[in-house]
């Protein structure tokens, strides 16, 4: 579990928890547990995605994937353990000094994002779309679940650490998170086409080899780049309603669109 969760990574989802919390004046110490929980769910999903039954990847973050470093049975159990630990932290860790009601809202938010209405459902759609032609609308629905749901949950959980945060603010943050969630996936798809394993820390060209539904395969590379930039602009416009408190969220949006790995 330590190998899978502490072995590098961009920590974009954790950064979003902290940045969203800062945008609503949450206490910094309250953000550690939701940030950890989101990263644990992300780490579990990568371990399971890399398995031979899924993407059959042998490299992750520049190192052997969990099932290569250990074995398949261990990797399955590692993913299960990381998944459970995320919810244990939200349920009982004393560093999260929130009401029981707010803890339950956080648990529900993360569970829904990780489950059949979010990441797992999106992954199922991704597998079903392999080798098939899909349109942009179907692709968007797929990635709003597979990638976007956990990014939206990260932003919402950061904001929820302030128990006085109001619905209009949550709606603004969700609009931002929806845009950068899609932008993140588009950039991921472009990098898989254009980058190399040394830069990415994982094998490139996998999407094409597996005939996955990607933005470049549906729109082409140039249109995909343009779409990512449009989503970035829309995300920034949404944050303008929050004023200067949202400046770190804006910086993260730029990192998402401009990243090279």
> What pLDDT score does 205 carry?
66
> What pLDDT score does 196 carry?
65
**CA 82 to chain CA centroid, nearest Å:** 15
> What pLDDT score does 194 carry?
82
> What pLDDT score does 193 carry?
85
pLDDT tens for each residue of 206-237: 777 778 889 998 999 999 999 999 999 999 99
pLDDT band of 198, cuts 50, 70, 90: low
- Say if residue 140's pLDDT is above 80: yes
CATH superfamily of 2-258: Farnesyl Diphosphate Synthase (1.10.600.10)
Angle, CA of 26, 28 and 31, to the nearest 5°: 85
DSSP string for 81-120: HHHHHHHHHHHH-TTS---HHHHHHHHHHHHHHHSTTTHH
Distance CA 86, CA 107 (A): 9
pLDDT tens for each residue of 88-116: 999 999 999 999 999 999 999 999 999 99
160, two tokens: 């929820």
Please state the rounded mean pLDDT for residues 242-252: 95
Tell me how far CA of residue 119 lies from CA of 26, 152, 163, 246, in angstroms: 27, 11, 26, 26
The phi, psi pair for 138, rounded to 5°, reads -65, -40
94, two tokens: 């004393």
Question: Average model confidence (pLDDT) for the chain?
Answer: 93
> What pLDDT score does 210 carry?
76
pLDDT band of 197, cuts 50, 70, 90: low
User: So where are the chain's domains?
Assistant: 2-258
Place of tokens 């949450």: 26
Question: Residue 167, Cβ neighbours under 10 Å: how many?
Answer: 7
- Say if residue 201's pLDDT is above 90: no
Please state the rounded mean pLDDT for residues 144-163: 97
- Say if residue 178's pLDDT is above 70: yes
> What pLDDT score does 38 carry?
98
Whole-structure pTM value? 0.93
> What pLDDT score does 212 carry?
85
Bigger pLDDT: 192 vs 49:
49
Distance CA 27, CA 13 (A): 18
pLDDT tens for each residue of 52-83: 999 999 999 889 999 999 999 999 999 999 99
pLDDT band of 156, cuts 50, 70, 90: very high
Distance CA 152, CA 13 (A): 9
> What pLDDT score does 8 carry?
86
pLDDT band of 7, cuts 50, 70, 90: confident
Distance CA 228, CA 205 (A): 20
Distance CA 1, CA 78 (A): 5
pLDDT band of 204, cuts 50, 70, 90: low
Distance CA 118, CA 135 (A): 20
Distance CA 162, CA 25 (A): 7
């Amino acid at each position: 579990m330590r190998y899978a969760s502490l072995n590098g990574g961009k920590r974009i989802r954790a950064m979003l928890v902290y940045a969203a919390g800062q945008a609503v004046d949450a206490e910094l110490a309250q953000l550690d547990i939701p940030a950890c929980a989101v990263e644990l769910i992300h780490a579990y999903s990568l371990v399971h995605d890399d398995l031979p039954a899924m993407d059959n990847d042998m490299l992750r973050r520049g190192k052997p994937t969990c099932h290569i470093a250990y074995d398949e049975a261990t990797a399955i159990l590692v993913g299960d353990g990381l998944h459970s630990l995320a919810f244990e932290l939200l349920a009982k860790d004393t560093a999260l000094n929130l009401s029981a009601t707010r803890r339950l809202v956080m648990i529900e938010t993360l569970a829904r994002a990780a489950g059949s209405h979010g990441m797992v459902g999106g992954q199922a759609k991704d597998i079903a779309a392999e080798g098939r032609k899909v349109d942009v609308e179907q692709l968007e629905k797929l990635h709003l679940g597979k990638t976007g749901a956990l990014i939206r949950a990260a932003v919402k959980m950061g904001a929820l650490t302030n128990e006085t945060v109001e619905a209009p603010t949550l709606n603004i943050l969700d609009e931002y998170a929806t845009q950068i969630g899609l932008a993140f996936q588009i950039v991921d798809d472009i990098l898989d086409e254009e980058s190399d394993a040394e830069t990415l820390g994982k094998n490139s060209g996998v999407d094409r080899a597996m005939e996955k539904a990607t933005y470049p395969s549906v729109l082409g590379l140039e249109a995909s780049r343009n779409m990512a930039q449009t989503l970035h602009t829309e995300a920034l416009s949404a944050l303008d309603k929050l004023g200067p408190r949202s400046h770190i969220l804006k910086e993260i949006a730029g990192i998402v669109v401009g990243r090279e790995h």
